[in-house]
Every structure is written in C-alpha cells, then in structure tokens.
Amino acid sequence: MVEPNGAPRAVRWAAAVAGVQAVAILAATVVLAVATLLGDPDSFGRAAFAVLIGLAAGLGLLRAAQAIHRPEGWARAPVIVCQLLLIPVGYTLAVQAELPAYGVPILASCAAELYLLLTPESRAAFRRL
C-alpha cells in the first residue's frame, strides 16, 4: 500500500524503526557522556572518543531515517549496514553479558528493520529512484 508521500507502508515503518534506534543511540551517548564527566574513567580520551562515535552514529542514523521516510535512494544501504553492525552488539549484550533486557530489543529492532527494508514493496520503492 502506497502512502500519500509516495512511500510504501513498509518504508515508512522502516524509517520509524531507524528513528527510534537513532534516538536510543543518542540517549545512550548522553548517559556515557555524563558518566564520563562525573566519573573517573580509565582513559578520558577513549571515553570522549566513544561519545563522539556515539554522536556521529546516532545523528547519521537519524539523518538516514529521515531520508528513508522520503524515500531517498542513498539511505537504504547505510541503514542496512548499521543493522549488521548492531547485531553483534545485541548478541553480546543478550548472551555474553547476560543482559537480555538490553540485547533482545536491539536484536528485535535489527530483525524488524532488515525485514522492512527487504520486503518486495520496499525494494521496489528504492528501485524506482
């Protein structure tokens, strides 16, 4: 089903999932920044670098989510790559660190995002561009 902006429903849902992921990454980055400033990290430089990487990842994914919503042809590949990079993070949190409350939502959102971006209607929407 095509929505008023010309994007199929799956593409709009994919944009929403990517947006939620971006906001979660930015929120975790803020928590890391506050913990770095108020705590005593082993290496302030590494912690600051992690904050910069988190900001770049969150803002980049947020921009890609906006582009998917339109849809713009360039946005699909970076979001798929981001999902492939988040899968090991979710697995590590859920299984190895025994923190399923953090890891399982990451894995579920990655699975949902990949499914939504790889449906036939989504692929057709990006192929038309």
Q: How confident is the model at residue 127 (pLDDT cuts 50, 70, 90)?
A: confident
Pinpoint the alpha helices (H) of 40-99: 44-69, 76-91
Q: What pLDDT does residue 64 have?
A: 96
Cα(93)–Cα(99) distance, rounded to whole angstroms? 5
User: 12 φ, ψ to 5°?
Assistant: -65, -40
Q: Encoding tokens for residue 91?
A: 């697995």
Q: What residue ranges do the domains of the chain occupy? A: 9-127
Helix (H, G, I), strand (E, B) or coil at 8: strand
- Express each pLDDT in 97-117 by its tens digit: 999 999 999 999 999 999 999
Q: Report pTM.
A: 0.88
pLDDT at residue 1 greater than cutoff 90: no
- Express each pLDDT in 52-75 by its tens digit: 999 999 999 999 999 999 889 899
The answer to whether residues 89 and 109 touch, using CB atoms and an 8 Å cutoff, is no
Residue 2 or 33, more confident: 33
Sign of CA dihedral 103, 36, 49, 60: positive
The backbone region for 39, taken as left when phi is positive above 0, alpha when psi lies in -120 to 50, beta otherwise, is beta
